[in-house]
Structure 1
Amino acid sequence: MIYRVSLAIFCLLSVTVATAQDNKISIEKIWKQGTYSPEYVQGIVSMSDGIHYTRSVSEGSNQYIVKYAYESGNAVDTLIRSSDYEGVDGNEIQFSSYSFSPNEEKILIATDEESIYRRSSKANFYAIDLNSNEIRPITNFELGKQQLAAFSPTENQVAFVRKNDLFISNLDVRTETRVTDDGKWGEIINGAVDWVYEEEFGFARGFYWSPKGSKIAYYRFDESKVKNFDMLIYDNLYPTTYDFKYPKAGEDNSKVGIMVYDLKKSAKVEIDANAQADQYIPRIKWTQNDDELAIMRLNRHQNHLEFLLANVANPNKHITVKTIYDEKSDTYIEVNDNLIFLNDNKHFLWNSEKDGWNHIYMYDLKGTEVAQLTKGTWEVVEFYGADQNDNKLYFSAAIESPLEREVYSLDYQPVFKTYNKTKSTVVPAKDMRGELTKLTPNGHTNDASFSKSFDYFINFETAADMPYKIALFNSKGRKIRNLETNAALQKKIDQLDISKKEFGTFKTVSNIDLNYWIIKPKNFDPTKAYPAIFMIYGGPGRNTVTDSWDGSNYFWHQMLAQEGYIVISVDPRGTMYRGKDFKHSTYLELGKLETEDMIEAAKFFGNQKYIDQNRLGMMGWSYGGFMTSLAMTKGADYFKMGIAVAPVTNWRYYDSIYTERFMRTPQENAKGYDQNSPINFVNQLNGAYLLIHGSADDNVHYQNTMEMVKALVDADKQFDLFIYPNKNHGIYGGNTRFHLYTKMTNFIKDNL
């Protein structure tokens, strides 16, 4: 009898221990076992009819491109089976990406793909004819891999870049036209873009077919005067050097020209856009006319944006341009992909912050503003496009809160009616909230992927404590079906000992309301003083205080809370969705106001009885690493510990486009650079400081950390340093993330 009781108690204890272990989050579960990885819907390619889509599906070594119906989700056809095709090497093809010809009778597939930078890669491309089932390489692969291959609107031709030159392959007669012949690594790039354009203007392909395929416009970069940046790659007995052109703040940029090649006349011409000037061409785009190309021109200060319209009907003549849009700012202007030329070939759409909030406008091709289509003290976040058959705009906006994002539609037909009736040059604008149709039923953060016809959209909804809920909606906002609910992961979350994120605001001494979230331990005791760590980014272009899913970091933050830490994030001045004045307030002084705000945050939370003001820490990556380094130096009286991952330590070391957008050049604004670079304030460090960097970071160079190390040593300051060999800005791959988060966690435990 005693034996049975003991056994029962033992079993009960075993179950209790097992349950406790199941509720305990660990770095192993997050980064090694993938216990908390959400399911996702990706790789969907809308077909032209807007009611079907395709996806790449793998089963073992077999790959398929399958066609589905949006409405039902049922597969209706299998377009490609990899086992049906052999490559030039005689082996079954394996592809990494694909794209359709305009009539969707041919498919381009990329094989043996190699990454170059964040958005660029090179591969061997094949074209597959879906009618004949014939596969052929677009060029002789022995000449080198290709970049950016894209079908012409005439279907039978493919343009691509190889070794910095632009080519056109005719698939019918199997001929190849070499459009350029002066491409050279480190000097001339044709049809692609240089490193800094790819990173900061967000695109890699530098050529564009005209609507009917009679012409092709392309970028020509002369980067011969841009200085090299060298990185050592530790891969052999003697490390190898990788060098590329990287223009740092205040240094020479590439000279950028725009060329147009006429296929029928075999002639090319440069458009007169002042290519030798110190300026940027962040976008080019064809109108609905094969003879009209629009060019965005931005001065180096990035506060004067023009749209130039060039008539390229005759490429044998000097091409001049006229200005159809002109915008200036006292600070800076950010560009995007939202330039849309309407099918009437008389109007275009564009969004701008010029009234203090990001909104959508309509102009005619003479440069006259026709209407401000959205207006109010709220921001358009992403402009998805215009359904010109139904006269509807589709976009997401932060209307209800800067912490949330909703999807909306707007009927812009009344604008045309008012314009035509009054003949007014500008339709009076008003706050448009009452005229918008909200398409997403819940709050939280929503992002949409529309079909090409705008008949359907896939909505990706997340919340602070809720992983992705992905569902299909029609264009009127009616939910058709769930695609992924992540119910299994949500069940795991519900069973964990976690605390909900709490959102709030506090007011600074400057009378500024700052948004924050806070995670407290599950067994939170308000009479106990806990150590707290701030998770920071803090820079332009990204908010951390949003009602959205934070991925693996969510579980790391919850794990720290389980260990007895309070975790906090604050969005300082300079962040998004609160209007231009709030975002642009940090102009010329990156780091100054943000650091002041984080010191205010330390004071506010340090005054709470449940937080130990002597045990405050901060962790940040990239811009967040910059902020952490400032907090540990200029804010050393308030922060005991800091972890700076891949930080900028002096803006003089960062690239020209990003840095000068917010700071101008060091030659013009030396004070702004020097008084806000943590490298100049290392003598104030008195807490525990950990620097982490990847040695092959092509973005925020390892140089930033090395220069910080040098300054710390010269100031006789002790610190910790860890370098991940051959890792880029993301610091991932293999066991890397597990090792990184283990190191950071241990550092927090040892020092807070």
Structure 2
Amino acid sequence: MLLLTSYISTAQTTPKQTSNLKEITLEEIWNGTFSAERMNSLNSMNGDFYAVLDYNRQTRSVSVDKYSYKTLEKVETIVNSANLNGLNSFSSYSFNNDETKLILGTNFKKIYRHSFKGTFYAYDIASKSLTLIEENIQEPVFSPDNKNIAYAKDNNIFIKNLASNNITQVTNDGKINEVINGITDWVYEEEFAFVRAFEWNKTGTHLAFLRFDETNVPTFSMDIVGTELYPTQQVFKYPKAGEKNADVTLHMYTLSTASTKKISLGDYEYIPRIKWSNDADVLVATTLNRHQNNLKLHKVNPVKATTVLLLNETDKAYIDITDNLTFLADNSFIWTSEKDGYNHIYHYDFNGKLINQITKGNWEVTNYYGFNEKKKTIYYQSIENGSINRGVYAINLKGKHKELLSNVNGQNTAAFSKNLNFFINTHSSANTPPVYSLYTAKGKMLKVIKDNVALKERLSAYKMSPKEFSTININGNDLNMWMVKPLDFDETKKYPLLMFQYSGPGSQQVGNTWNGSNDYWHNMLAQKGIIVVCIDGRGTGYKGADFKKVTQKELGKYEVEDQIAAAKKLVERSYIDKNNVGIWGWSFGGFMSTNCILKGNDVFTTAIAVAPVTSWRFYDSVYTERYMQTPQENASGYDDNSPINYADKLKGNYLLVHGTGDDNVHVQNSYRMINSLIEANKQFDMFIVPDRTHGIYKGRNTRLNLFTKMTNFIDANLNNK
């Protein structure tokens, strides 16, 4: 087995050398002192060009500027807010297909994680004319023939004709908390990761859309304290595990007849994707059963409203939903699947017959970038050089002539041009901050765009310990691990241990990548004399389907066993204090840390849980049932792994943190945990943060205040005295 430590220098700075180095402070972590420079978000354009939204501080104007991939120089300004009448600024833009028009957005109001409302305008580049589309709308998009813009408002779909400015209302039954047309409901947005649920066909003659009838979905409500005299309530439909989901149906609107047809897709629970093929008369709709282990692709004829089964894939556990479905010129298609035990790329004809498996091996394809029709070449990202690394590769359609296009080690992520002739590679590792470089599609590096050398030099003045990567054998598996030690580490001394993890299905925390804010905090704790360790146990990703899916129907069983066993193995090391062992995590990681201090009370003495799930009965249907089936089918899987049922086992120091405005993992989880601890007469600490959502970040000093609380808790309870 490849030793992961070979990627990272483990050289230690001697105590004498550290005397002049600065301590990391919480204020610096959260005021941006250690933030890496990022590239502006760019949109690839037709040809060898890309567009960037630029802000001019002197003129306070916003512009969409066109750049060349070949030179990285600005070619022209497409639109500037300083020259617009009636629109002083905008914060988003999108092109039509031939890049003659733009949709400009402003006045955004956030709804959930990905969704928002805003005011949008259509801008004609040639005439420089600006037209208001509508206020308080969602997801406007041009038709491919440039004649119309479709958008959603107040749970209905509308189409605006650009020539006449006439607006056609496609649906009329939209109603808050009852029926949604063309926009996904909360659980689809959160778990299937898309918002716009309507799609134009290739000629702009048909508009396919999903309709969500959530009338019978149970309602969840949260009190919002706010700043007024009386709190308000946020009320929305949230299907918890085993409860009623929205009835989702597929519909087809035909512009020439102004008529809508309902499309029958047989027996299913979810429609997580719809996508038009290159044939204007063939839509492909994806359906899933409630267990999410039976996926079907349906070919839909929009005129006849008939369907034909294109592909049916099943799995003993579940099937992940991706956006990798790609139709080639002949309508054969690219598909990714775990059916051979690892995630790989497949090529099918338009009748669903397998042409060939393009990638093979005991490794995972982690990203699919696209197919160059002219070169018959596929571009993808994988872990072929070790599961903690990512590389960018090219391979032909027959699965031959594979080439590595990026650095071997560390994390490499490609942003390809629309024509797939160039890509901007982002490379980082545990020792290297993000480096942005321009490459040709053949893997030739043309230019370094940003290298973050200044950040690396700035960090050299601070006490920063290197991550030491290794593996640890736990319960018969070699698990990826990193360890951060104090810079003046002395193996003859004993140090407290703090374990950090997330542990959710398919996740990864042990990666050869640059620091996040948690890493700086862990370093700060290390310089206080604490050893920090992270281990990806069973159920995490990038080691094959069997390793990932072993936790099926038992979330929190094997993952907790691995963390407890790892802690017990680590305390056997002479330099770790077995009487001072802590664990912390957020969300799924908070569920884990809570379970660990209860079920592992013979090894863990301290735990912090931020925004934890405390019973999967409280979490949403799509995520939870993917791994657990329903509570009605698998009651023991839910209850045997719920920390609520083990509150009487608490012996150590426990800090529970939650935001009351968390629409994802509801504060109900922590309230129920608190009640269980009270009933068991257990003492604990808690920190309830008003109105904050799952990330607990909104508002001045929110994160600084939270991590100050957590640091003080660790100082008081996990110490090196």
Instruction: Please report how far the alpha carbon of residue 156 of structure 1 lies from its aligned counterpart in structure 2 after TM superposition.
Output: 2.8
Indicate the residue corresponding to 1:187 in structure 2: 178
Contact 2:345 2:357 in 1 (8 A): yes
State the Cα RMSD in Å: 1.6
Tell me whether 1:152 sits opposite 2:143 in the alignment.
yes
Alignment pair present for 1:138 and 2:138: no
Task: Give how far 1:253 is off.
Answer: 0.1
Q: Which residue of 1 aligns with 2:394?
A: 409
Map 1:735-746 → 2, pairs under 5 A: 735-746=701-712
- Partner SS state of residue 681, structure 1: helix
Match of 1:462 among 428, 431, 434: 428
Equivalent residue runs for 1:458-607 within 5 Å: 458-508=424-474, 510-607=475-572
Aligned identity (percent) is: 45
CA distance in structure 2 between the partners assigned to 1:695 and 1:344 by the alignment:
52
**Residue 412 of structure 2 corresponds to residue 446 of structure 1:** yes
Amino acid at match of 1:55: L
Superimposed CA distance per residue, residues 385-404 of structure 1 (whole angstroms, 9 cap, x where no aligned partner): 11112111111001111111
Please tell me whether Structure 1 or Structure 2 has the larger radius of gyration of its CA atoms: 1
| Cα separation, 2, equivalents of 1:313 and 1:474 | 43
Q: Deviations over 1:365-420 (max 9, x none)?
A: 212111111111000001111111211111100111111110001111xx3xxxxx
Question: Does 2:103 match 1:108?
Answer: yes
Supply the distance in 2 between the matched residues of 1:691 and 1:729 (Cα, whole angstroms): 14
Which structure exhibits the higher relative contact order, with contacts defined as CA atoms closer than 8 Å and separated by 6 or more residues?
Answer: 2
Contact 1:255 1:278 in 2 (8 A): no
Show the 5 A alignment for 1:329-340: 329-340=315-326
Deviation above 4 Å: which 4+ runs of structure 1? 19-22
For the pair 1:364 / 2:349, whether they are aligned, the reply is yes
264, 279, 288: which one aligns with 1:272: 264
How far apart are 1:80 and its partner, in Å? Answer: 1.2
Aligned counterpart for 2:231 among listed residues 236, 239, 242:
239
Q: Distance in 1 between matches of 2:354 and 2:594?
A: 45
State which of 239, 260, 271 in structure 1 corresponds to 2:252.
260
- How far the C-alpha of 1:50 sits from its partner, in A, is 3.4
**Structure 2 SS opposite 1:256:** strand
Describe how 1:8-47 pairs up with structure 2 within 5 A. Answer: 23-32=22-31, 34-47=32-45
Residue correspondence of structure 1 range 383-398 to structure 2 within 5 A = 383-398=368-383
| Superposition TM-score, scaled by structure 1 size | 0.92
Contact kept? 1:45, 1:55, Cα under 8 Å: no
Aligned partners of 2:74, 2:186: CA distance in 1, in Å? 40
For each residue in 1:594-616, what CA deviation from the matched residue of structure 2 results, as whole angstroms up to 9, or x when unmatched? 11100111011101111101101
Of the three residues 197, 206, 210, the one matched with 1:215 is: 206
Partner SS for 1:633: helix
Deviation at 1:21, TM superposition (A): 7.4
Q: Are the aligned partners of 1:535 and 1:619 in contact in 2 as well (CA < 8 Å)?
A: yes
The Cα shift of 1:174 comes to: 0.8
Deviation at 1:320, TM superposition (A): 2.4
How many residues matched? 701
Q: Deviations over 1:254-284 (max 9, x none)?
A: 000011111112111111114xx56111101
Q: Partner amino acid for 1:478? A: K
TM-score when scaled to structure 2? 0.95
What letter corresponds to residue 252 of structure 2 in structure 1?
A: V
Q: Which runs of 5+ in 1 are unaligned?
A: 1-16, 416-431
**C-alpha distance in 1, partners of 2:215/2:56?**
44
Structure 1: how far apart are the matches of 2:19 and 2:129?
59
Q: Aligned match of 1:175 in 150, 166, 182?
A: 166
Q: Is the 8 A contact 1:253 1:278 kept in 2?
A: no
- Partner residue, 1:54: 52
Pairs within 5 Å for 1:638-717: 638-717=603-682
8 Å Cα contact 2:468/2:482 also seen in 1: yes
| Aligned equivalents of 1:363, 1:112: Cα separation in 2 | 44
Mapped to 2, the partners of 1:502 and 1:671 lie a distance apart of 39
Task: Output one character per residue of 1:589-643: Cα deviation in whole Å (capped at 9) or x when no partner.
Answer: 0010011100111011101111101101011000000000011111111111000
Is 1:248 matched with 2:244?
no
Give per-residue Cα distances to partners, 1:446-501, cap 9 Å, x unaligned: 11111100011111111113221111111001111111100110112223222110
Partner of 2:119: 124
Q: Note the 1:47-86 alignment, pairs <5 A.
A: 47-60=45-58, 61-86=60-85
Separation of aligned partners in 2, 1:313 and 1:290: 11
Which whole-Å CA distance do the structure 2 matches of 1:261 and 1:569 have between them? 51
Segments of structure 2 that go 5 or more residues without pairing to the other structure are: 1-15
CA separation in 2, counterparts of 1:526 and 1:35?
Answer: 32
**Equivalents in 2 of 1:41, 1:724: separation in Å?**
33
Distance in 2 between residues matched to 1:50 and 1:706, nearest whole Å:
55
